[in-house]
Chains A and B, each alone.
Chain A
Amino acid sequence: MRPYLPGYRGSFRSGFHMPPPYDLRLLFPMLFLVGIGIVMVYSASSAVALKDHGSDQFFLRRQALYVFPGFAVLLMCRYFPIRFLRALAYPILGLSFVSLVMVLLPGFGIKAGGATRWLRLGTISFQPAEFARLAMVVYLAYSMSKKDYKLETFSVGFVPHVMILLVFTFLIMLQPDFGTVVILFAITWILMFVGGVRLKYLLLSFLSSLPVVYLFLIGSSYRMRRIISFINPWRYAHDEGYQTVHSLMAFGTGGIWGVGLGKGYQKLFYLPEPHTDFIFSVIGEELGLMGILLVVVCFAYILWNGVKIARSAEDTFSSFLAVGLTVCVGLQACVNMGVALALLPTKGLTLPFISYGGTSLIMNMAFIGLLMNIGASQTRQESP
């Protein structure tokens, strides 16, 4: 029996007729993911943190602190006038280019684990590659909305975008960060597809790039081993397939309900980077299939709203921007999950909102802020 509450029926009815604004529809799943992220970062990293940093809360504290600048950036993006963003497309692109160059210069870049991915500016450090995704999306959205119907031509609609992409690719491969390159390529191709670049160009260029990718892979025994171990991880369970095999074991151990928060074993030095690249496996082990479904449903809900926002955006720039941002978040989530589930070879991409990492968290919250911004401007138009 429902208790009688004064005004209950009325409020229900008003909620029924007017769906909640995009602000809330994006905020809640995002908050949920960030919350799960902080809890899982603590669970996954405490052993590593204690061993490497002397405190089991080392990563927990930092991740919790990143949420504050994250919200500041989110609010900034939420209320920043979108039309100014067009004007900022090239400055942002330039800034991203400079930061990508700077990270390669000795004195600015921080080398960790065989790659130089962090740029130190004073007391803060961030990953220019994360920022490059935003710059690329804004640039593409601006460029494609400006070119309009000329998009269909090869020289105007295809070549300039790919040139910019290749410059970025070159810089990022020097770090190296293969995962981000893959994401940038995917975003560019998807956006060009959405914008109306001829499918012929997209498919042919994709096919013609395959030999290059092949040469690139066999050019490095390290990358080749990764591919071979991806095809049959169990055969290389003690070498290259090690992470994959332990990630699969984590999922298997978790079962439907999980072993319980904090009770997983695979994060204890079996999984490399349990709090970043393989946090999805830790969720699978500790929270089980139920936890996994919750996370996937949250991402799916964000993406669904992203798609809706893109469709109903007031202009093509906003529409492209929304698609780019949605694809950024969605693709990165899918690639990370795919790696953990051994559907893709190991990359080194984080799970948005959940994995440990300041730049990644702040950038992804910025994407959500921008999506809210686009969604709100269009809601304003629709509402009487």
Chain B
Amino acid sequence: MKPTEKSGINRRIYWVGAFFVCLFLIIIGKTIYLQVFQGQWLSRLAAGEYEKTLTIRGKRGTIFDRNLREMAVSVDAASIAAYPRFIQEPGAVATALAEVLNLNRAALLRKITSDRTFVWIKRQSAPSEERAIRALGFKGIDFIPEHTRYYPNRYLAAQLLGFTGVDSRGLEGLEYYFNDELTGTERSFTVLKDALGKKFDGDNSVEGVYRGNDLVLTIDRTIQFITEKALGEAVADFKAKSGLAVVMAPKTGAILAMANFPLFNPNAFRRYDRELWRNRIITDPFEPGSTMKIFSAAAAIESGGCTPNTIFYCENGKYRIGREVVHDTRSHGWLSLNMIIKYSSNIGAVKVSEMIGAEALHRTLRHFGFGEKTGLTCPAETSGSLSPYQRWSRIDTGVISFGHGMSVSVLQLVTAVAAIANDGVLMKPYVVQEIRGRNGEPIQQYHPQEVRQAVSPQTAETVKKMMASVVEPEGTGARADLHGYTVCGKTGTAQNLNEAGEYARDAYVGSFVGFVPAEDPQIAILVVIDELPYGSYGGTVAAPTFRNIARETLNYLNIPADPGVDRITAGRPRVKVNG
């Protein structure tokens, strides 16, 4: 061995060593660059690639009517998904899926051959479709448990119930208000972790996911149907635009029916104008008109200075207050308070209010719950508008006494009238009587709740009698008369305000509010028919609708006729009346 040669080799071996030092430095440098300086960006990018988080929800709770008949149910509707990477024969799979699901094959093929890790094939498929595809047994196809909301009674009480969106979230009505209660528990899982490590549909089981709570309503499906049917007929017969009706149990405040017309089908809510989705009984204020005279009369009697027989001069149909003139539809001379209600004299109501004063009128109206929300468990309730009496001018007090210059919700009005039927005790209206857990155990119960004694029982009794006279043959509400029952009620007519803030000539609101039987009131009903053509009044339009609803409901509830009522009066001739 030549030492010189070996030393040359050794020198060159060092060069090789140095070469490797360079390589290792480059490798370490790049690693530090990736792991320290680009780590965040890269890991975010990676997470986007392999994490697809899905949520499995428990079934949404059922909504029952008071007799536990289903109003809203959730049915299984698995969503079909695919993991394109695991699909072995995309062509065959696309053909089969396209046939079963009636989808476009080309679009489907594009989806399942994409380089995404997870794609939806069809959200919320029908159970038959799910079965058919499961039977095909393709690899890479998965089923994510989901549910669709189904309303078996279709149109029935749609505005009250509301509806849910695709993600099973309540969007309107009770579905919205009680969304948290109705929603089942959720469990999220990362699709890919499951999809790769273990079996496909092993981890998206519904284990540990529970269904939501049930709602039991106070609504009676049959009464709701009766109400909607009568309302629909009235709107059609009188060429009106819409109608609202509420049936309430006056002694408890439980709402038995709540109808908005036109109806819509919550199973396909998107096909309807969104104006129809709202429960206008609760959300929309309206000018009540003459129905408010009941409360003016109640205020007069409650204040102590008045009896049903106290007489007022009704100015023969024209009464000037400052620059304004109040009219009656028929001119009257002297009328007793009872007659003022029976014939619905506006001037009489003004005279009554002038006698008792703005403060007493305001107090009584507040006691009946006007100007404040009832607290019904429904979204977007209006409080109506009732300004403080200190701000009322003389004409304000006058028109408020017959229900103008203020607004109320349909719900407020029926609740207030129900207080008269209930010996002057104002009840808090309620539509949900119980929230039930998934095993049927009660979680929360809603019991009848007194708000306050609005007027004394004696006053209520007196007003009740006056209201009964309205339905007598000469009264404005004669068409609400029922065979064999004493009906207490009051008509109302108002004109809608048009966009300019003036009273529209062809947009009348006819209403009738009342309760029956007079001796032991079981149901309080308010009917409002909106946008009537000229010449229609509460007495001619809403009163017969009230009668139809009341008759069938009493029949359904098996409420016996009043023993003291003369059945012969049933056949008496009708008179034309004005509201």
Contact = CB atoms under 8 A, between A and B. Distances in A.
Contacts of A268: 50, 192-193, 196-197
Given A194-B16, A296-B24, A289 B5 contact: no
Contacts of B47: 253
Interface string A118-138: 000000000000000000000
Q: Is the interface of B mostly helix, strand, loop or mixed?
A: helix
Interface size class of A (residues with CB under 8 A): 35 or more
A300 B38 CA distance: 25
Interface stretch (A25-33, A243-251, A355-363): A243-251
A128 to B, nearest CB: 27
B497 interface: no
Interface residues of B, number: 43
Interface stretch (B28-36, B70-78, B172-180, B356-364): B28-36
Contact of A253 (B10, B17, B39, B192): B39
Given A238-B115, A304-B17, A334-B23, A195 B46 contact: no
A164 to B, nearest CB: 21
Given A194-B16, A316-B5, A253 B36 contact: no
A69 to B, nearest CB: 29
A289 B29 CA distance: 11
B50 A316 contact: no
B196 A289 contact: no
Interface string B19-58: 1100110111011101110111111011101100000000
B28 to A, nearest CB: 6
Contact of B16 (A149, A190, A253): A190
A311 B45 contact: no
B20 A319 contact: no
A269 B1 contact: no
A255 B39 contact: yes
Contacts of B192: 265, 268
B6 A316 contact: yes
A270 B49 contact: yes
A233 interface: no
Q: Is the interface of A mostly helix, strand, loop or mixed?
A: helix
A238 B17 CA distance: 38
A252 B45 contact: yes
A252 B42 contact: yes
A3 B551 CA distance: 103
A319 B196 CA distance: 50
A300 B25 CA distance: 10
A334 B12 contact: no
B9 A319 contact: yes
B35 A47 contact: no
B39 A315 contact: no
B43 A249 contact: yes
B13 A307 contact: yes
Interface string A317-328: 001100100110
A252 B35 contact: yes
Given A148-B5, A292-B31, A196 B12 contact: yes
Given A303-B20, A334-B20, A293 B28 contact: yes
A63 interface: no
A194 B13 contact: yes
A272 interface: no
A266 interface: yes
Contacts of A307: 13-14, 16-17, 20
Given A47-B196, A194-B13, A334-B24, A251 B35 contact: yes
A172 interface: no
Contact of A292 (B35, B40, B41, B45): B35
Contacts of A252: 34-35, 38-43, 45-46
A188 B171 CA distance: 75
A320 B197 CA distance: 48
Contacts of A284: 31, 34-35
A47 B1 contact: no
Contacts of B35: 251-252, 254-256, 284, 288-289, 292
Contacts of B13: 194, 307, 310-311, 319, 323
Contact of B30 (A238, A250, A343): A343
A96 B365 CA distance: 108
Contacts of B197: 47, 50, 268
6 contacts: A246-B49, A255-B35, A256-B36, A292-B35, A293-B31, A310-B13
Instruction: Across the A-B interface, give the 7 residue pairs with the lowest CB-CB distance, nearest first.
Output: A252-B42, A249-B46, A268-B196, A251-B34, A253-B43, A307-B17, A255-B39
